[in-house]
């Protein structure tokens, strides 16, 4: 789990090979889960400006995702 630099988003890694975003202030998920890894997601990290999220997985890949608007 990681929080964006401005605290507006939280991203969580899943054993189900997905990444989910939620808004702490709204207390709800944002959008559909991100899919693309071929196994559990093991790490999530926001870029310093918060516009991108990087993820790592047991499939030995790193992926970059745009973050949703809050």
CB atoms inside a 10 Å sphere around CB 17: 18
pLDDT level of residue 62 (50, 70, 90 thresholds):
very high
Q: How many CA atoms lie within 13 A of 51 on its CB side?
A: 1
Q: What is the dihedral of CA 49, 53, 54, 56, to 10 degrees?
A: 150
Domain chopping of the chain, boundaries: 2-66
> pLDDT tens-digit profile of 12-33?
999 999 999 999 988 889 999 9
The residues with which 41 forms a beta bridge, in sequence order, are 57
Average pLDDT over all residues of the chain: 94
Q: What residues are paired with 61 via a beta bridge?
A: none
Task: Determine the pLDDT at residue 28.
Answer: 87
Integer Cα distance of 21 and 14 in angstroms: 11
């Amino acid at each position: 789990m990681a929080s964006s630099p401005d605290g507006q988003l939280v991203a969580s890694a899943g054993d189900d090979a997905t990444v989910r975003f939620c808004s702490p202030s709204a207390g709800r998920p944002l959008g559909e889960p991100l899919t693309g890894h071929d196994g559990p997601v093991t790490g999530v990290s926001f870029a310093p400006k918060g516009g991108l999220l990087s993820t790592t997985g047991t499939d030995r890949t790193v992926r970059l995702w745009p973050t949703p608007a809050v």
